[in-house]
Amino acid sequence: MSQTMPAAKPITSSKGLTVLRSVFLAFVIAAVILPLFYLVTLTFTPQSEILSGRLIPASLTLDNWPAYWERIPMLTFARNSVLAAVMGTVLSLLIATPVAYAIVRHRTGGGVLPTYVLSAFIAPPVVAIIPMFFLLRYIGLLNNAAGLGLIYGLVNVSVAAWLLFSFIERIPVEIEEAAVLDGAGVLRTIWHVVLPLLAPGLAATAIILLILNYNEFLFAVTMSQSVDSQTLPVAISLFQGDRGVQFGQMAAASMTAMIPVYVMALIMQKWLVGGLTSGGVK
């Protein structure tokens, strides 16, 4: 009696997809980690070694850290960046939340208004430099962190509203209708029903706005001419002088400027991931 050989198992493409995903993930991690690693290396590299073009320095030094700290008032710049970023984020959310709610729930503007809302963010920011400059000078907020916060709050309303669209769409309309049947008005429904359910989306949007405001350079360098009002991106640009660029000191300042962003991301990671996933899944 002849024995039949077991049929060979077909080779599926699952292993191949797993390998491709692993390779792609490794590439993405390397693309994120390597520039950061090189930035850290620059902070301990002498200026002569940096100008020689060597990727791996022959010698290391700690001189860049105290040198940059003595050159610029880092704490003042950090304070201005945080104040302007927080004020701009709060103002953007205060304006964008009712705008997004009116567009999503009441179809305000039909299908045209959402497009116009996003188009305001796509426009080059340099277009608004001159009118914003004269606006701040007229109201007395030029060279002031509050003035930058006002600009950031107005400029990022469109992106905040666009991010909140999907979060509001995910909230069941039946919950709001039940609140109305119980006698709640529009404002009470929004305050006691919509906003608590919208909290993860507000947190995720707030983090994105904070990062955008914190890293902004064009408005900061134009509206802040005094040292007492300048922000960290402007401070980092000060290491470029007429005789060259102090790359090591600039890298050390950049590393210090990154600390608040990473701390904020670690603290708010739970709300950021939860908010983004709840807004992206219907």
Q: Which domains occur in the chain, in start order?
A: 14-65 (no CATH), 72-280 (1.10.3720.10)
Q: CB under 8 Å to 169, separation ≥6 — which residues?
A: 104, 282
User: pLDDT at position 214, please?
Assistant: 94
Encode pLDDT of 214-246 as tens digits: 999 999 999 988 888 899 999 998 888 767 788
Residue type, 14: S
User: pLDDT at position 281, please?
Assistant: 46
Contacts 24+ apart (CB under 8 A), 75-80: 76/227, 76/228, 77/230, 77/231, 77/232, 77/234, 77/235, 78/232, 78/256, 78/257, 78/260, 79/145, 80/145, 80/148, 80/224, 80/228, 80/229, 80/230, 80/231, 80/232
Using the Cα atoms of residue 146, residue 148, residue 151 and residue 155 in order, give the sign of their dihedral: negative
Bridge partners, 244 (sequence order): 241
User: pLDDT at position 276, please?
Assistant: 55
User: pLDDT at position 246, please?
Assistant: 87
Answering whether pTM is above 0.95, one says no
User: pLDDT at position 217, please?
Assistant: 93
Minimal CA–CA distance to 258: which of 228, 221, 232, 239? 232
User: pLDDT at position 146, please?
Assistant: 92
d(CA 41, CA 177): 58
User: pLDDT at position 275, please?
Assistant: 56
SS3 241: strand
Tracing tokens 């003595």 back to the chain, one arrives at 70
Minimal CA–CA distance to 163: which of 117, 195, 196, 197? 117
Burial 2-13 (b: 16+ CB within 10 A, else e): eeeeeeeeeeee
- Would you say 282 and 169 are in contact if contact means Cβ atoms under 8 Å apart? yes
User: pLDDT at position 282, please?
Assistant: 45
Q: Which residues of the chain have pLDDT under 70?
A: 1-13, 242, 271-282
User: pLDDT at position 57, please?
Assistant: 83
